[in-house]
Structure 1
Amino acid sequence: MKVVLTAWGSRGDVEPLTGLAVALQKLEVEVRLCVPADDEFTDLLASLDLPLVPLGPTAKSVVSGSTPPAERAFQLARELVAARFETLSAAAADGYDAIVATGLMPAGARDVADKFGLHYVLATFHLAGLPSQRFRPGARPGTPSSAAETDLKVLWEQDAQRVNGLYQEAVNQHRADLGMPPVDNVRDYVLTDRPWLAADPTLCPSEGMTELDVVQTGAWIRHDSRPLPDELQSFLDAGEPPVYVGLGSMAAYAPKSTAPAAIEAIRARGRRVVVARGWAGLDAVDDADDCLVIGTVNHQALFPRMAAIVHHGGAGTTTAAARAGVPQVIVPLIADQPYWAGRVVDLGIGAAHQGKEPTPASVSASLDVALADETQVRARAVAEKVRGDGAMVAAELLVKEMSERR
């Protein structure tokens, strides 16, 4: 069996695919990953001996470019549709049996699967994009819904129209080139009636949240055995657990006040700081030896060594922090991040930062909650419930479905 795994996005979109890829390889399935060829992803896949086929522009060039991502959205949508039709059609010609698509709305993936008779799975790492009568759709480029509109059915219909505005023309042009009829609703066609939810059920319960027949596999986590860099290891060994501060790939959205405000608030408590530079470009404010700036490292090894984890609230970082049993402070900026902030609060394992511009006072208020004894106890208790077998659950299900299809 041969499977294509495809996503376009940041580390949070690509790294889970490596977990699924490794699990599939254990089941003797051949895997190809079609993802953006950012240096970070190229190095990661090479270290795992996973083949990478570049898909679209690099993610960092989009989120860190001079043009804000929202202004480039329509152009990027056309580029990604074209890239998916090209790269996934090539995979179909190479005898692949299935496509698993995730990340930024993967319009084009199911079209290729349908054209060439491949099994298709749409996977998501959160619930935010699935039509629901329980919550409003998130923001997308295009004409926004009225703030006064409260009918969820209307709001989700308008969400589908925005997706069509981004992708429909390009999708239907490529479908016509392949002799396929047009698609009326790109969003629902991409999602299918049975999407997979690659998120832990304790952190992201799905029952009753959407009318779709969601298959919850659990989060796709790959065991990471990489050691921490020597400098970081020495820093950790030199004192009490520090507080981590990082905003991941949020280059275009990270408030400039984040690192200075967080460092001041953490130092005021007599704590040391680990700042993850990330695509957001966070940095130290001085040369003091109580603060260390790091690049990309193994979160599975680092997070259990922290006193608290201050981050943007991506699905992967939230899950990694929860698995580590360490309290977290989420500074939600876009997309699914407010959802994860709410879940952290509901579970009692951390705090949601209040306000869009962090200040020493606002960060300190969040740390009051995160560093409280009861929060630490609760974080350790929830960690015991977060499962680590989601990737294998998904891999076994995929093999079963492909076998039945054959």
Structure 2
Amino acid sequence: MKVVIITGGSRGDVAPYTGLGARLKAAGHDVAIAAQESFAGLVREVGCEFRLVPGDTRAMLGSEDGQRWQGRGTGTLRAMKTNIQMGMRLLEETGKGVVSAAEGADVLLLHRTALWHGYLAAGAMGIPAVGLELFPSVPTADFALPSFDVRFLGRWGNRHLPSLAMGVTSHVRTPLDAPIRSFQQQLGLPQTGLSEVRRRTVEDENWTILHGYSPQVVPRPADWRPGVEVVGYWWPPAREDWRPPRELTDFLEAGPPPVFIGFGSITRRDTAELTETISAAMRRAGTRAVVQAGWSELSAMGDDVLAIGDTPHEWLFPRMAAVVHHAGAGTAGAGVRAGVPAVPVPIMGDAPFWSRRLAGLGVSPGYVPMNELSAERLGDLVRQAVTDPAYRQRAAELAGRVGAEDGPARVIETLDRLPPRFGRR
């Protein structure tokens, strides 16, 4: 079976699908992964065919609009204009690559950035498709969705606010409708706009959505419809030829376990100020630290701090006393897998959701949003995470349960049950 995974965005939006792709290949499938050009090497390293999706997320996040987006978050009225502008750009870029990426596929597996275009293209091209989400995507009374982060309306608001919002926008055209309507016209489909497509992906009982995180971390809500499941993490494959640099191993051996600090694909321009805040926080906490450069190109200051580049989380995190990160889905999951306490510093998107969840699970003493970050707040949380053994104990117990799961196997089972290509609908 020719399986095409279509994704976009940052490294955290691509890496889980390389692990899934490798498992699908081991199960006998022919796998292609469509992503932005900067991730071609990541895809080819696991033996999958690379297909191009237009766009450059790093450049977008580094732009003036991208900086405003990260500075304001994604869940406030103040950020609405920037959200619309960035949303239009993502939709337009994704739409340019979905049809060509899907050529020759027997099945499409779709990440959020390609979900709506992929859903439409699959129907028009007669290809079975499955949505693959990295955070909760279907409304439930249990919690507010990360994309509708409004917590004061209670269970009724949690369940109905997304549907109400989609219902309102279906009667009011927004700039986000334009690229979807253009894509529908390209495929010869009725031009309904974005809100109607979103509604259909949520309600269509023939449309399967699999969530790639552990039910131990976020259990499947009982009010989700059949076909919407939580299956477990899709871990990036281990890099068998990777060896830690001598400087890193010497640093680890020279003292007690350090704290990891890294913000992944988040792009910040205030690097010097952020570096000083981190250094002061570690001095306040009395801990050593390993600082990962990431897309913000963080550096390190002090004898007890080491700056590192790209280092596999599955190797590094278990050797840490705690992990300080931006709480993206993949990094949050990697911390859970490693069984170490976490101190999230959420910035945007789904990060506040995972930050609250880690605290609720008892593996984190709390979190501090990036736009409220101070050496005092970060240092105090890190000290608490490192010195209170209850956090590590709970983290280790959770890691044991999560480690027993096999998320890719659930995807393979779903593919085995799909109908063959069925012609245009």
* 1:311 positional shift: 0.7
**Deviation of residue 201 (structure 1)?**
0.8
Indicate the SS of the match to 1:122. strand
* Structure 2 residue 198 is matched with structure 1 residue 187: yes
Q: Deviations for 1:199-254, whole angstroms, at most 9, x for unmatched residues?
A: 11111212236457422221111331333233222222222211011111221598
Task: Quote the residue 1:44 is aligned against.
Answer: 42
Q: Give ranges in structure 2 of 5+ residues lacking alignment.
A: 70-80
**Alignment-derived partner of residue 97 in structure 1:** 106
Quote the residue 1:346 is aligned against: 360
More helix by share: 2
Equivalent pairs: percent with the same residue? 27
1:327 offset after TM fit, Å? 0.7
Deviations 1:127-159 (A, max 9, x none): 1x422334345458xxx99x9998456631354
Corresponding residue number in structure 1 for 2:343: 329
* Alpha-carbon spacing, 1:198–1:254, altered in 2? closer, same or farther (3 Å): farther
What is the rounded CA distance, in whole Å, between the counterparts of 1:236 and 1:102 in structure 2? Answer: 37
Partner of 1:178: 187
> What do the CA deviations read for 1:144-189 (whole angstroms, capped 9, x no partner)?
99x9998456631354256973543222222223221223512123
The 8 Å contact of residues 308 and 370 in structure 1, kept in 2 or not, is answered as: yes
Aligned residue type for 1:363: L
Q: Residue 414 of structure 2 aligns to which amino acid in structure 1?
A: L
* SS of equivalent to 1:283: coil
Tell me, what secondary structure is at the counterpart of 1:223? Answer: coil
Q: Is the 8 A contact 2:163 2:199 kept in 1?
A: no
Q: Is the 8 A contact 2:126 2:421 kept in 1?
A: no
- Tell me the CA shift for residue 5 of structure 1: 0.4
CA RMSD of aligned residues (A): 3.0
CA distance in 2, matches of 1:386, 1:233: 28
**1:126 offset after TM fit, Å?**
1.2
Say whether 1:133 aligns with 2:149.
no
Which amino acid letter does the alignment assign opposite residue 389 of structure 1? D
Q: Among 302, 311, 333, which residue is 1:297 paired with?
A: 311
CA distance in 1, matches of 2:385, 2:263: 17
Q: Deviations over 1:300-348 (max 9, x none)?
A: 0000110110011111111111111111101122221111111111211
3-state DSSP of counterpart to 1:8: coil
* Alignment partners' CA distance in 1, 2:201 and 2:210: 12
**Structure 2 counterpart of 1:131, which letter?**
P
Q: Measure how far apart 1:118 and its partner are.
A: 0.4
In 2, Cα distance between the equivalents of 1:211 and 1:344? 26
SS of the residue corresponding to residue 3 of structure 2 reads strand
Alignment of 1:7-406 (within 5 A): 7-38=7-38, 41-68=39-66, 70=69, 74=84, 77-78=87-88, 80-93=90-103, 95-104=104-113, 106-127=115-136, 129-138=137-146, 151-152=157-158, 155-157=161-163, 159-160=165-166, 165=174, 167-183=176-192, 185-191=196-202, 192-193=204-205, 194-208=208-222, 210=224, 213-225=227-239, 226-252=242-268, 258-284=274-300, 286=301, 288-354=302-368, 356-371=371-386, 372-387=388-403, 388-402=405-419
Which moves more between the two structures, 323-332 or 221-230? 221-230
For residues 214 and 148 of structure 1, the distance between their equivalents in structure 2, rounded to whole angstroms, comes to 24
Partner amino acid for 1:104? Answer: T
Classify 1:29/1:65 alpha carbon distance in 2 versus 1 (closer, same or farther; 3 Å): same
Higher deviation after alignment, 163-172 or 359-368: 163-172
User: Distance between the aligned counterparts of 2:109 and 2:140, measured in 1?
Assistant: 23
C-alpha separation in 2, matches of 1:315 and 1:166: 28
Relative to structure 1, is the Cα distance of residues 258 and 353 closer, same or farther in structure 2, using a 3 angstrom cutoff?
farther
Q: Indicate conservation of the 8 Å contact 1:197/1:217, yes or no.
A: yes
Question: Residue 351 of structure 1: SS of its match in structure 2?
Answer: coil
Distance 1:303 1:148, change over 3 A: closer
Q: Cα deviation per residue 1:14-37 (whole Å; 9 max; x = unaligned)?
A: 011101100110111111111112
Q: Distance in 2 between matches of 1:313 and 1:212?
A: 29
- Partner SS state of residue 350, structure 1: coil
Check conservation: 2:18, 2:237, Cα contact below 8 A: no
1:330–1:352 CA contact under 8 A, matched in 2: yes
Does structure 1 retain, via aligned residues, the 8 Å contact 2:55–2:93?
Answer: no
Residues 121, 187 of structure 2: 8 Å contact kept = no
Which secondary structure does the structure 2 equivalent of 1:275 belong to? strand
The alignment of Structure 1 onto Structure 2 pairs a total of residues equal to 397
> 2:237 is matched by which residue type in structure 1?
H
Question: Residues 33 and 337 from structure 1, CA distance in 2 versus in 1: closer, same or farther, beyond 3 angstroms?
Answer: same
Instruction: Check conservation: 1:259, 1:275, Cα contact below 8 A.
Output: no
The answer for unaligned runs of 5 or more in structure 1 is none
Question: Residues 219, 153 of structure 1: CA spacing in aligned structure 2 closer, same or farther, 3 A cutoff?
Answer: closer
The answer as to whether partners of 1:259 and 1:283 remain within 8 angstroms in 2 is yes
Which whole-Å deviations, capped at 9, do the CAs of 1:54-93 have from their partners, x for residues lacking one? 2121111111123336466555545544554553323444
- 1:73 and 1:339 mapped to 2: Cα distance? 18
Secondary structure of 2:266's partner?
coil
